[in-house]
Amino acid sequence: MDVGAVTGHGGAGSERTPEDGSAISATPPRAAVAGHGGSGVLLRALVDDAGLFPPTELGVADAVRRHLADRASGNAMLTHRFLCPLSRWEQLRAALPEDGTGGAVMLDAGVVVDTDAGLLGRVPDPDPRIRVTHYEVRVPAADIAAATRYLAEAGPDHARTPVYLEVDRGPDGLDALAALAGAAPLGAKVRCGGVRAELFPDVAELAAFIATCARHAVPFKATAGLHHAVRHTDRATGFTHHGYLNLLLATARAAQGGDRHAVAGALGADDPASLVAEIRAISRPTAEHTRALLVAYGSCSTSDPIADVDRLGLSGGG
């Protein structure tokens, strides 16, 4: 994928009123799910809609219907960004209504490049109903260095749409993260699970990623395996999942200068009450620093994360 084309393409659209009189906007009003304290900041606009991805893997039409219903609910924990594989972009366009929108943006979409083209691929054809918010692409470490050099030479006027790069696992990938320091709009992406056991990084590996991003002030997104708040083992699969509260606490510790041991301790915590107490104790400034690092995570379920927040008593913030 050409870095210049990606960072310079942000979609198009403006708010209009359709014939039925209801407002259609890619930025809906948000219901108060989290409060104004540190935990409210941590949880607000945290979950991207990955309904097209496994294990839920909805059809495009069903995924769009669910997304629009979620957007209408205005839950503050949801980003109201719809993640779409590049290979299914035309299906997404076909699933959106052709008439009655008045030319308004119907949804914000993050494009996940799921081809082998990497940074040399194409950008999707623009559509006035869709605003592209960011791109996610898996690249080898060598391409990360090339991308940062390109943007440095292009200058600040060229940097517009964020691109989150999923780097190689292991030492080479960690070294590549350092090249992203100060390389906005580039950020990193980490895979926290999947449909096979080997796709789940262990605590030490994930802690190393988070600590490295914090040390170099590299914003990152996470994906897969994060439906629930607290670290747990799925009885059906036997996979041990990272929790999104664990991820937030680990990032908060890293943001405060904690070492990998401290970060790993947060990821390994599996007592809900203790974890919630630590989340509640995080100050608003630390929470803001944390979310500057952890931008969001993609979840194929948009209801499970919200249900866990309600169950743990965090929906009122604090």
Kindly state whether residue 168 falls inside one of the protein's structural domains: yes
Who wins on pLDDT, 21 or 275? 275
Kindly state whether residue 318 falls inside one of the protein's structural domains: no
For the chain, what is the domain count? Answer: 1
Comparing 21-30, 75-84, 109-118, 168-177, which segment has the lowest mean pLDDT?
21-30
- What distance lies between CA 109 and its chain's CA centroid? 11
Enter the tokens of residue 311.
């169950």
φ and ψ at residue 143, rounded to 5 degrees:
-70, -30
Statement: residue 18 has pLDDT above 80: no
- Is 31 in contact with 74 (CB distance < 8 Å)? yes
**DSSP calls for the chain:** --HHHHHT-------B--TTS--B-SS---B--S-SSHHHHHHTT-EEE-TTSTTT---HHHHHHHHHHHHHHTBTTEEEEEEEEGGGHHHHHHHS-SSSSTT---EEEEEEE-SS-GGGSPPPPP-TTEEEEEEEEE--HHHHHHHHHHHHHH-GGG--S-EEEEPPSSHHHHHHHHTTTT-TTEEEEEE---SSGGGS--HHHHHHHHHHHHHTT--EEEESS--SSS-EE-TTT-PEEPPHHHHHHHHHHHHTT--HHHHHHHHH---HHHHHHHHHHS-HHHHHHHHHHEEEEEES-SSHHHHHHHHTT-TT--
What pLDDT band is residue 13 in, cutting at 50, 70 and 90? Answer: very low
Chain segment 185-242, per-residue pLDDT in tens: 899 999 999 999 999 999 999 999 999 999 999 999 999 999 999 999 999 999 999 9
Kindly state whether residue 136 falls inside one of the protein's structural domains: yes
Task: Name the residue range of residue 62's domain.
Answer: 3-311
Who wins on pLDDT, 249 or 175? 249
Statement: residue 261 has pLDDT above 70: yes
Chain segment 81-131, per-residue pLDDT in tens: 999 999 999 999 999 987 655 656 789 999 999 876 555 556 788 899 999
Angle at 241 between CA 240 and CA 246, to 5 degrees: 125
φ and ψ at residue 217, rounded to 5 degrees:
55, 45
Kindly state whether residue 123 falls inside one of the protein's structural domains: yes
Kindly state whether residue 316 falls inside one of the protein's structural domains: no
What pLDDT band is residue 142 in, cutting at 50, 70 and 90? Answer: confident
pTM of the full structure: 0.87
Kindly state whether residue 317 falls inside one of the protein's structural domains: no
pLDDT at 116: 64
- Share of residues in the chain with pLDDT > 90 (%): 67
Kindly state whether residue 66 falls inside one of the protein's structural domains: yes
pLDDT at 86: 94
What pLDDT band is residue 155 in, cutting at 50, 70 and 90? Answer: low
Comparing 17-21, 85-89, 170-174, 274-278, which segment has the lowest mean pLDDT?
17-21
pLDDT at 147: 75
pLDDT at 117: 54
What pLDDT band is residue 139 in, cutting at 50, 70 and 90? Answer: confident
Closest among 198, 294, 202 to 249, alpha carbons compared: 294
Kindly state whether residue 179 falls inside one of the protein's structural domains: yes
pLDDT at 288: 98
